[in-house]
Chains A and B, each alone.
Chain A
C-alpha cells in the first residue's frame, strides 16, 4: 500500500468538563470507504469537525498526502480537497438549489453556468435534481443530493458523510450507495459516519470504532458481525427487547377520513387517514421525515383539533377536543424534539413533570400546584426509567439526549395511558437507552394499552410493531401485519425513491 491520503495521529480535543477526542489515530487511503462508528457522544462529530477545519485540535497532527494538514477554517479544508455532507444545519430553506450550492463554493460561477454544471454532475452520478427548485420544498433525500452535489462540484479527494442514510427510503439508500461506490472507484476516499451496522457492512472497506472519545478498535466490516461491532461500540452486551404474543382486544381508537391542512408552507397536509387501533397492539408508522408525521401527531394529541367524527376514542368523538381533554380521557402523546416540544429545556424535571402530569396524577387543586407531589412523581419517573440525573431539580436541558428521552417517555407511561402515541421514541438515543425505551413500550402494550409508534427507524418498527403502515405525502398506507414484511415492500409503501422521474428532464 502506498502512503495514505489522510492520516490522523494522536488527535486530542477537550471541552470544559469532557474530553471529546482522546489520542485518536486513523488513516484513509485514496478510494477507500472508511466507516467511523460510535454512539452519540463518542466523539465522531468532533473528529470530523477537526478534519473539516471547524474545530482545532488541542494536540496531535494531521497529514494529507504526507504533508502537514492544519486547516484553520472550512475554506482551507475545501481547498485541500475535503468535502463534507452534513447531517443537519447546512441548507437554506428559502433559497434555490443553485443558490445553496453557490454558497458552498469558493469561486462560484454565474448562476446560469452553475445550473448547467449541476445538471451535468447530477446526470453523471445518477442523482436527479433540478437546480431551480426551492430547497424548502424538497424531500430529505433530495436535500441530501444538494449537499452531495455541492461537494462533488469541488472534486474532493476526501468526502465526509455524517449519518447520510438516517432520513432516506431503502431505495434512496441504494441510489446513494451506487453513487458512493462510483466515487470510490474513481479514487475518492470516503469517511462514512453511521451507527447503522448493516449498511456499514455492505458499503465500507474498513472501520474505526470510537467510544467515549477513544479508539476502541479497528475492523473489517465485511468480516465482522453487526453484533460484534455493536458491542464494541457500547462496551457491553446488548439486550434484545422481548414480549409475549397476545390476542388483540377491543378497538380503542379509530380515525375516519382524518384531514388537516398543512400548518405552514413547508408542512404537509393530512389526507383522508383512516385506521383502527385495538387494545394491546402496537401500530408502527414509518415513512420519510416530512411526510406528515408531525402533523399526524398534532392531530392525535389535540394540538391541532380535528373535525367532528374524525377521531373517536372508545366510542366518544374527541375530534374537536384539545390536549388536556384528551389526556383526561386516556389518550397521551409524546412528540419528537425533546428540547422544546416534548420538554421545556430551561425548566426543571419537576416542572416538566407537572406540565403534562398535573391532570392525571392530581398534581393541582383549584388552580394551585402541589409541588411536593410533582417532585415525587418526577422522582418516580427517574427511578423507574433509570434516568441519569442529579435529581428532579435539574434543568431538562442539562440531561443527555438519551436520558431526557427516557424521562419524557417515562413521564407519559407512568400516567397509565390507554392509548399512547409517540413520535421518534429513540431518535438520537444510544443503543442501551433505546433498548430500555422499547421495552417500556412493549410492556405498556402487554398491559392492555394501544400504541402508535411513529419512527424513521425501520429496524425499530420491525422489532416492536404488530402491524406496520407508512406515511407518504400525508396519506397513510393500509396497515399490514409486521411479521414477514420485506424491506422491498416497505420501501414501496413509503413511496419508493423520491424524485426518480426528474432524472430525464
Chain B
C-alpha cells in the first residue's frame, strides 16, 4: 500500500468533479419535491441524458451542444412522468419506478452504436493568472463550465425559493395543493414545469458522467447516482445548501475510495465501492433531525374537483 501516491491537490479537486452529477440531479429533484411531486425516475432521466448528451456531442463535436441535448432529453422523458401523474393521476411511486426502468432500457438501445467511442472533451474554464494562485487555483479554478454552472444553480434555486414570488407559489403548491388551487394557482401547470426542470437537471447530471467524468458510454453507467440524489434531497431536509454539502461528502468519499483502490489498500474493492453510498446515507440520516420539513402534499395526487 502506498498512500504517498495520492496527490492531495488533485484529490480535493476531484471532489468537485465527482459531486457535480449528483448536484444537478438532486437540485432538480429538490425543486420537483418542493412542488409536492415525488419523481423516483431520476436515475432513468439521468441515463437518458447521458446517452442523448453523449450521442449529440459525438455527432456534432460540441460538448456544450451535448449538454443542451441532455437537458432536452431528460425533460422530454420527464414529460412522460408528468403526463402519467398529473393528467392520468397515476400513482407517483409506480410511475417513477417505471420511468427509471424505461430510461435504463431505452438508453441501452440508443447507445448500441456508441460503445467504445470517445467523446469530444469540454475544455476547462480559463481564469488566466488567477488559476496560478497556489492550492486555491488548482483546486477551485481548474474545472469545466458545468461544475461552476452546478454551483450557480444551487445558489439560484435557493434564492428563488426564498426570495421570489415564483418560489413562494412553488412552495405553496407543494405545501397544500387544495389551498393553492382555491387561490387560483394552476397546480398541474406549475407541477408539470417543475417536473420538466427536474428532468432537464437530471439529464445534464447524467451527461456529465458520460462526457466528462468517465468519459465514454456504457450501459447503466449512472450506477445508482439517481437514487443517491433522491436520498440526498430527503436527508438534506429540502435545503439547497445542505444538499450541496451532502453532494461534496459523497464526491469526496468516491474520490477517496478510488484513490485507495489505486493505492492498493487491502480491502476488497466491493467494500470500497459501496462505502460512499453507505457513509453518505448514514451521515445524512444523523444530520436530518428536522423531520417536519417535508412538503405537506408530497406524493399526493391532486384533482381539482375534490
B131 interface residue (CB < 8 Å to A): no
Q: Which B residue sits closest to A104, measured CB to CB?
A: B183
Instruction: Give the interface SS of chain A, mostly helix, strand, loop or mixed.
Output: loop
Q: Is the CB of A86 within 8 A of B168?
A: no
| A102–B180 alpha-carbon span in the complex (Å) | 12
A103 interface residue (CB < 8 Å to B): yes
A73 CB contacts on chain B under 8 angstroms: 184
B267 interface residue (CB < 8 Å to A): no
A116 interface residue (CB < 8 Å to B): no
B185-209, CB under 8 A of A: which get 1 and which 0?
A: 1000000000000000000000000
Contact of A93 among B169, B175, B178 (CB under 8 A): B175
Q: Is the CB of B175 within 8 A of A94?
A: yes
Contact of A264 among B175, B178, B182, B292 (CB under 8 A): B292
B176 interface residue (CB < 8 Å to A): yes
- Shortest distance between the CB of B287 and any CB in chain A (Å): 18
Q: Is the CB of A91 within 8 A of B169?
A: no
Q: Is the CB of B172 within 8 A of A74?
A: no
Contact of A95 among B171, B178, B183 (CB under 8 A): B171
B145 CB contacts on chain A under 8 angstroms: none
A95-112, CB under 8 A of B: which get 1 and which 0?
A: 100010011100010000
Q: Is the CB of B183 within 8 A of A265?
A: no
| A94–B180 alpha-carbon span in the complex (Å) | 13
Q: Is the CB of B184 within 8 A of A90?
A: no
A93 CB contacts on chain B under 8 angstroms: 175-176, 296
- Shortest distance between the CB of A75 and any CB in chain B (Å): 5
B179 interface residue (CB < 8 Å to A): yes
Q: Is the CB of B168 within 8 A of A90?
A: no
A92 interface residue (CB < 8 Å to B): yes
Interface size class of B (residues with CB under 8 A): 10 to 19
Known: A91-B176, A92-B176. A265 touches B292 (CB 8 A): yes
A99 CB contacts on chain B under 8 angstroms: 168, 172
| A86–B296 alpha-carbon span in the complex (Å) | 19
A259-294, CB under 8 A of B: which get 1 and which 0?
A: 000001100000000000000000000000000000
| A359–B175 alpha-carbon span in the complex (Å) | 40
- Shortest distance between the CB of A87 and any CB in chain B (Å): 11
Inter-chain CB contacts under 8 Å: number:
52
Contact of B184 among A75, A86, A91, A108 (CB under 8 A): A75
Q: Is the CB of B168 within 8 A of A103?
A: yes
Q: Is the CB of B179 within 8 A of A102?
A: no
Q: Which B residue sits closest to A78, measured CB to CB?
A: B184
B176, B182, B183, B185 pick with most chain A CB within 10 angstroms: B183
Q: Is the CB of B296 within 8 A of A94?
A: yes
Q: Is the CB of B292 within 8 A of A92?
A: no
- Shortest distance between the CB of B302 and any CB in chain A (Å): 12
Q: Is the CB of B172 within 8 A of A92?
A: yes
B221-233, CB under 8 A of A: which get 1 and which 0?
A: 0000000000000
Interface size class of A (residues with CB under 8 A): 20 to 34
- Shortest distance between the CB of B100 and any CB in chain A (Å): 28
A368 interface residue (CB < 8 Å to B): no
- Shortest distance between the CB of B248 and any CB in chain A (Å): 27
- Shortest distance between the CB of B168 and any CB in chain A (Å): 6
Known: A103-B172, A104-B183. A89 touches B178 (CB 8 A): yes
Q: Is the CB of A74 within 8 A of B182?
A: yes
B296 CB contacts on chain A under 8 angstroms: 93-94
Q: Is the CB of B182 within 8 A of A86?
A: yes
| A436–B296 alpha-carbon span in the complex (Å) | 37
| A347–B10 alpha-carbon span in the complex (Å) | 61
A54 interface residue (CB < 8 Å to B): yes
Q: Which A residue sits closest to B185, measured CB to CB?
A: A103
A54, A75, A78, A90 pick with most chain B CB within 10 angstroms: A90
| A89–B168 alpha-carbon span in the complex (Å) | 17
Known: A93-B176, A94-B175. A103 touches B169 (CB 8 A): yes
- Shortest distance between the CB of B33 and any CB in chain A (Å): 13
Instruction: Give the interface SS of chain B, mostly helix, strand, loop or mixed.
Output: helix
B70-95, CB under 8 A of A: which get 1 and which 0?
A: 00000000000000000000000000
| A264–B290 alpha-carbon span in the complex (Å) | 11
B185 CB contacts on chain A under 8 angstroms: 103
Q: Is the CB of B172 within 8 A of A95?
A: yes
Contact of A89 among B165, B182, B295 (CB under 8 A): B182
Contact of B179 among A53, A75, A92 (CB under 8 A): A92
- Shortest distance between the CB of B167 and any CB in chain A (Å): 10
| A90–B182 alpha-carbon span in the complex (Å) | 7
B171 CB contacts on chain A under 8 angstroms: 92, 94-95
Known: A103-B169, A103-B172. A91 touches B179 (CB 8 A): yes
| A75–B185 alpha-carbon span in the complex (Å) | 9
Contact of A103 among B178, B183, B295 (CB under 8 A): B183
B152-185, CB under 8 A of A: which get 1 and which 0?
A: 0000000000000100110110011011101111
Q: Is the CB of B183 within 8 A of A74?
A: yes
Q: Which A residue sits closest to B171, measured CB to CB?
A: A95
- Shortest distance between the CB of A167 and any CB in chain B (Å): 16
A54, A92, A99, A264 pick with most chain B CB within 10 angstroms: A92
| A94–B296 alpha-carbon span in the complex (Å) | 8
| A86–B292 alpha-carbon span in the complex (Å) | 25
B182 CB contacts on chain A under 8 angstroms: 54, 74, 86, 89-90
| A74–B186 alpha-carbon span in the complex (Å) | 11
- List B123-138 residues whose CB lies under 8 Å from chain A: none
Q: Is the CB of B168 within 8 A of A102?
A: yes
Q: Which B residue sits closest to A75, measured CB to CB?
A: B184
| A53–B183 alpha-carbon span in the complex (Å) | 10
- Shortest distance between the CB of A110 and any CB in chain B (Å): 10
| A75–B183 alpha-carbon span in the complex (Å) | 8
- Shortest distance between the CB of A151 and any CB in chain B (Å): 12
B180 CB contacts on chain A under 8 angstroms: 92, 103
| A104–B165 alpha-carbon span in the complex (Å) | 11
| A104–B179 alpha-carbon span in the complex (Å) | 10
Q: Is the CB of B176 within 8 A of A102?
A: no
B178 CB contacts on chain A under 8 angstroms: 89-90
| A327–B112 alpha-carbon span in the complex (Å) | 64
A91 CB contacts on chain B under 8 angstroms: 176, 179
- Shortest distance between the CB of B171 and any CB in chain A (Å): 7
Known: A99-B168, A102-B168, A103-B169. A90 touches B292 (CB 8 A): no
Besides A92-B171, A92-B172, A264-B292, 5 other A-B contacts (C-beta < 8 A): A90-B176, A90-B182, A90-B183, A93-B176, A103-B183
Those 6 A-B pairs whose CB atoms lie nearest each other, nearest first: A74-B184, A89-B178, A92-B175, A90-B179, A75-B184, A265-B292
Interchain residue pairs with CB less than 8 A apart (13): A74-B182, A86-B179, A92-B175, A92-B176, A92-B179, A93-B175, A93-B176, A95-B172, A99-B172, A102-B168, A103-B180, A104-B183, A108-B165
